[in-house]
């Protein structure tokens, strides 16, 4: 087994999207090869409804998939194909925009006014960019959860992990999307297929990730409150950790435990022409998409 090196850690940065939704962006609109097949990752988390109720009114997508995971509150959605619904706490929507769709997403706070969720954009390979749009709406109760004897819990949203398979299927780039919780001081090793690009995103507590670029990849440990934790390289809330090539990662939870997403996928390795919510392979394809938006032919008729 080979431990993955840490290529980079970064803290997500505040930004604004939609009609004025305040969120934090971990990556996006930068080098698309960096985390290929993934293009963008947003953490939308607010306790003040005024920071999110304006939502994401009607907008187009083509050539990508959008993955929305709600932790608290809800998101009401509708589209140009007549679909509509609501995502609640723990639910996931995997939307394959394919040849094109217009949709809107309107977040609603929980009873206490809190809204928290994530949106990830996955690229589509050239031979799937103009496929028919489709949704996979998954309720929280349909997502398998593995609980280890040491208290570690893994929700398997997409892909197969530790013998359990998530409910989302038929997606490009062979993705794996895991929601992992580790109790205070516990050290765990998780396998990741070598061919995948991978990143972790911490959103509760803190943790240290072993780094293969250091001698033996050993964590610097010190006992705190009865737990051995890495205090030199502890990463906290809203931190992205980007990994290099290998087939496993090792993480040690801090004194408050940690919860993070572990996401990986097979790189597509194709040219990217990207403007806003539309991602194609060439500038000509991108220009064609915007011409179709202007002349009203963007949405393909259903076959």
- Binding-site positions read 59, 61, 103, 105
DSSP string covering 99-153:
T-EEEEEEEE--TTS-EEEEEEEEE--GGGTTSPPEEEEE-GGGS-EEE-TTS-E
What are the φ/ψ torsions at residue 260 (nearest 5 degrees)?
Answer: -150, 160
CA distance 65 to 150: 35
CA distances from 256 to 117, 228, 298 (A): 21, 12, 49
**How many Å apart are CA 200 and CA 69, to the nearest integer?**
15
Given a contact cutoff of 8 angstroms between Cβ atoms, the answer to whether 56 and 68 are in contact is no
Known binding-site positions for Fe cation: 59, 61, 103, 105
User: DSSP letter at 241?
Assistant: E
Q: Do 35 and 267 form a contact (C-beta atoms < 8 A)?
A: no
Tokens of 283: 């500038």
Please give the Cα distance from 179 to 263 (Å, whole number): 9
């Amino acid at each position: 087994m080979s431990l993955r090196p840490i290529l980079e850690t970064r803290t997500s940065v505040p930004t604004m999207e939609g009609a004025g939704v305040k969120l934090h962006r971990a990556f996006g609109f930068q080098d698309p090869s960096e985390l290929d097949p993934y293009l963008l990752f947003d953490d939308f988390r607010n306790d003040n409804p005024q920071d999110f109720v304006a939502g994401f009114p009607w907008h187009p997508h083509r050539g990508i998939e959008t993955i929305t995971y709600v932790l608290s509150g809800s998101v009401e959605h509708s589209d140009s194909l007549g679909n509509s619904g609501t995502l609640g706490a723990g639910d996931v929507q995997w939307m394959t925009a394919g040849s094109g769709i217009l949709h809107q997403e309107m977040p609603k706070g929980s009873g206490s006014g809190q809204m928290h969720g994530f949106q990830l954009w996955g690229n589509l390979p050239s031979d799937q960019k103009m496929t028919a749009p489709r949704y996979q709406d998954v309720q929280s109760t349909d997502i398998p959860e593995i609980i280890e004897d040491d208290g570690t819990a893994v929700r398997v949203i997409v892909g197969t992990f530790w013998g359990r398979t998530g409910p989302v299927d038929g997606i490009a780039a062979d993705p794996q999307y895991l929601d992992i919780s580790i109790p205070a001081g516990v050290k765990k090793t998780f396998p990741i297929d070598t061919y995948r690009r991978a990143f972790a995103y911490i959103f509760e507590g803190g943790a240290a990730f072993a780094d293969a670029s250091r001698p033996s990849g050993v964590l610097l440990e010190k006992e705190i409150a009865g737990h051995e934790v890495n205090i030199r390289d502890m990463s906290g809330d809203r931190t992205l950790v980007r990994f290099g090539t290998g087939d496993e990662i090792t993480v040690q939870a801090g004194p408050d435990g940690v919860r993070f997403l572990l996401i990986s996928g097979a790189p597509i390795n194709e040219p990217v022409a990207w403007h806003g919510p539309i991602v194609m392979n060439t500038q000509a394809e991108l220009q064609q998409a915007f011409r179709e938006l202007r002349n009203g032919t963007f949405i393909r008729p259903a076959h």
